[in-house]
Amino acid sequence: MNWQTTTANLFARLTIKQMMRRDVSVDAMRRAIDALERFFPRRPADCEVGRDHPLPDCEAEWVRPRAAPGDRVVLHFPGGAYVVRFPNFERALVGRICHAAHARCRLVFYRLAPEHPFPAGHDDGVAAYRQLLDLGVAPDRIVLSGLSAGGGLALGVLLAIRDRRWPLPACVIAMSPLTDLTDTHQSSSRVTNARRDAVLSLEHGQELRNMYVGGNAELYGHPYVSPVFGDYGGTPPVLFQVGSTEVMLDDSRHAADRIRATGGSAEVEVWKGMPHGWQGLPFIPDSGLAIERIADFIRTHAP
C-alpha cells in the first residue's frame, strides 16, 4: 500500500470513523462534515456548476467540463447514509469522471432522512431521470451513478425505471453501494471487516436504517430500499467498485450475484486496501485508475 492511501486511511479513522462511533445527533454529524468539506474546492477544476432545470422537491446541479463534454449525461446520487451529504467531495468526484468519460453530470441532492424518509429521496431520483428524458436526453446516453448510499439509490431507481417501463439508461456505476438494509448476513464483511474498514463504523447502523425508512422496519426488504432483493431482468450492465477492507464489500458481491441470477449483467472490481470513497480522493494513485476504469465502462456501454 502506498503512503498516500495509508495517510488517507489514518485520517479517516481519526475523523469520520470516530464520529460514526459516537452517539451524536444528525445535526452534529452534518456540522462535522461541513468542516471536513473545506478540504475540497466548492467548484471542481475546469468545470462549470449550473443550477438550471430545477427539480420540484430537491436541489440539483449540472457539473459541466469547460471542454466539450459530448452528449453523455451521468446522473449521480451522492452518499452519506441517506442522512448527510458531502457536496464539495461529490462535485470533485463527478467532475473527474466527466472529464475522463467526456460527459456532463446531473448531480441530485435528494431529500434526506430523518426529515424526509423513504420514499422521498428515491422519488427525487426517479424524478431526476424523468426530467432528463423530458429534456430530450436519449436514454442510451444516460449513466446512473452513485456512491455508498447513493449507489444503492441508483440501483433502486434503476428498478423503478424498469418497473415503470420507461426507456432504460445505458449502464450503472455503483461505487461501494449500500444494497442491503436487512443486515442479516452475520458472517459477512460487515462483521469480518468491522475493524479493517478505515472509514465506516456500523455501530449506529440500526438507528440510521430506522431513520431512512421512517421507523417502518417492513420496508427494509423492499427492492427500492435494499436492491439486493430486486429482479434485474432486462436491465443494463452494472459496474461495482469496492475496497477489499470495506464493511460493505459483500453488499456489492451479493447485489452482483442477484443481478446475474435474475437476468442482468454485473462486474465487480475489488480494490485491495482502498478506503470507502477512494475514487473521490485524487491524491491516491488508485483513485485515478478507478476513474479511468469507470470512464472505460461508460464509453463501452454509451459509445
Q: Which residues are catalytic?
A: 148, 246, 276
Distance CA 269, CA 252 (A): 9
In three-state secondary structure terms, 220 is: coil
Measured torsion, CA atoms of residues 215, 221, 225, 228, in degrees rounded to the nearest 10: 150
Neighbours of 284 (CB within 10 A): 21
Q: For residues 179 and 250, what is the distance between their CA atoms, to the nearest angstrom? A: 9
The candidate with the shortest Cα–Cα distance to 245, out of 280, 279, 281, 270, is 270
Indicate the SS3 state at residue 126.
helix
Number of neighbouring beta carbons within 10 Å of residue 186: 7
User: Which residues fall within 8 angstroms of residue 269, CB to CB, at 6 or more apart?
Assistant: 239, 240, 241, 242, 290, 293
- Cα–Cα distance between 169 and 158 in angstroms, integer? 8
The one-letter amino acid at 22: R
In the numeric block, the cell 446531473 is attached to: 106
217 three-class SS = helix
238: phi then psi, degrees, rounded to nearest 5 = -125, 135
Nearest residue to 174 (alpha-carbon basis) of 141, 199, 145: 145
